[in-house]
Chains A and B, each alone.
Chain A
Amino acid sequence: MKKLLLVSLILASNAPAFAEETPITGNVQTRCLITTDTNGVFGNPSPTKLSTASTDGGVVPVVRYDVTLADAYLAKVTTPTEFSSSPALSDSVSWTGSTAVTKTTDAGMSIYETNKVTYGQTTQFDLTIAGSTWFSSESAALYGVNKSFPGGSYTAVILAECIAK
């Protein structure tokens, strides 16, 4: 009995493997396109503040969402919470930001602004209508407690996402 078992195991190990892995490929064409319409610029109304608001001498960044499929995507825009590049900072930076619908290609899209959801630095819009929507984000940074920013170049990034529902 023991020999018989051994022979069976050898036969099984020598049997050819009739198995094949067939790949399946496919492409999904995006129906949500995000484009930077206007690059933002920080204004420096005071030594302690950097702001994109036009009243502060800045330029508000604008991002455009082009959606060809209605009611299928969420737009999420997150204002910065840190500088991506800056001089060495020894104190904390306090960030504020907001995002709003500033222009649409359809009157019905104006409801996006009413129905937007904000949490933290992120604002979420439900893109229920096909077309283009422009979102403007204002961002401001305060350094320490009435502390002046060190001289140099400052860069921050706004994150715009299109999330399928």
Chain B
Amino acid sequence: MKKLAVVALLAIYATSAHSEYLYGITGNMAATGHTWGMNSVGPSNQRGMRINGVYYQYTPIKNTEDDMLVHVRNKRVGGDGYIFSSTDDWSGLPGGIAITKGFVIDNLPIELWGEGSIDIEGTGSVVDANVVYSYKYNEGCTTPMADPSCPGYADAVLAMMRDSTVEYYDPMGDSNISDVLDEKVDLDEEDEKENEEDEDRGRLERILSGVDESVLSANILAQNLLMFAMTNNPSMNPYYDKKLMGGVYKETVVLHGGELPDNKKGARAGLAQQILHTQMISMQYDKTE
């Protein structure tokens, strides 16, 4: 959480700030001697100053046969060695001819640049030395937090975060919010019940709507049949117009006299049934059984 806040603050500062760099060059730092300090580089109180170039020129005075090394360099503040160093080897070379060199420096903060010097190893000397530094600075770096490019920006932001008391707010511990949440839970339960009732009511309505639909369909069917019956007007005229021709229909069947023999098989069957019927009737009066 805290890291997130720091990152957010850094982002806000980074987006709100803008950089306006100003550039400049120094005078001849070696005009008064072969050692010089860097405090006089650029305007005073410019915390964001950076060195972006070194240019030097000098004329060696020596005999050709002599060995001589010339070092132009700056000590590194807060560490061993040099933050800038260039060596010219004049051994076996004639003197009297000026040398000039220029170097592009990768915007190293002025705070890292220590004392500058022209050092000679061997026999010979250096005259007409000229050492110039080019620099740039952000005019708005009156405080470290003025711009992310200002030195100490990140440290200043972190220090500010450490100094500030961050009060954490726990929303779940707020009684107002918990009450509202409880009410919301009750309301949710009521809503669920209402929803269930609504669902039952809906099912019943759907069932009833099915019955209604059946009744409606039956009514429609009955109405259709009634309408069909009402519209079914058969033409009776053909029947009324039909005329039966009058006349006498004579008997065509002629019965010839003779003797019809009895059906003996039928008589036997009928007699047997009769006997059986009689026995059954008599049985109800038979008290012996």
Contact = CB atoms under 8 A, between A and B. Distances in A.
Interface in A79-121: 101-111, 113-114
B224 interface: no
A107 B59 CA distance: 10
Q: How large is the interface on A (under 10, 10 to 19, 20 to 34, 35 or more residues)?
A: 10 to 19
11 contacts: A102-B97, A102-B98, A103-B57, A104-B100, A106-B88, A107-B88, A109-B97, A110-B93, A110-B94, A113-B96, A113-B97
A134 to B, nearest CB: 8
Contacts of A110: 90, 93-97, 99
Contact of A103 (B60, B64, B100): B100
B287 interface: no
A66 B100 CA distance: 13
Nearest to B98: A103
| Nearest 3 interchain pairs by C-beta | A107-B88, A110-B97, A103-B98
Interface of B: 57, 60, 64, 70, 88-90, 93-101
Contact of B101 (A101, A105, A111, A113): A105
Nearest to A103: B98
Contacts of A104: 97-100
Contacts of B98: 102-104
B89 A105 contact: no
A114 B95 CA distance: 10
B94 A105 contact: no
A104 B100 CA distance: 6
A67 B282 CA distance: 160
Given A107-B60, A107-B88, 11 more contacts: A103-B57, A103-B100, A105-B101, A106-B88, A106-B99, A110-B90, A110-B93, A110-B94, A110-B95, A110-B97, A114-B94
Contact of A105 (B60, B70, B95, B100): B100
Contacts of A107: 60, 70, 88-90, 93, 99
A113 B94 contact: yes
A107 to B, nearest CB: 4
Q: Of residues A105, A108, A110, which shows the largest number of chain B Cβ atoms within 10 Å of its Cβ? A: A110
Contact of B94 (A102, A103, A106, A111): A111
A103 B57 CA distance: 9
A106 B57 CA distance: 11
A75 to B, nearest CB: 15
Q: Which of B57, B64, B100 has the most C-beta atoms of chain A within 10 angstroms of its own C-beta?
A: B100
Nearest to B92: A111
Contacts of A106: 88, 99
B54 to A, nearest CB: 14
Contacts of A111: 93-94
Contacts of A113: 94, 96-97
Nearest to B91: A107
B97 A103 contact: yes
Contacts of B95: 110
Nearest to A132: B100
A107 B100 CA distance: 9
Nearest to B95: A110
B101 A108 contact: no
Contacts of B100: 103-105
Identify which of B95, B96, B99 gathers the most chain A CB atoms within 10 Å of its CB: B99
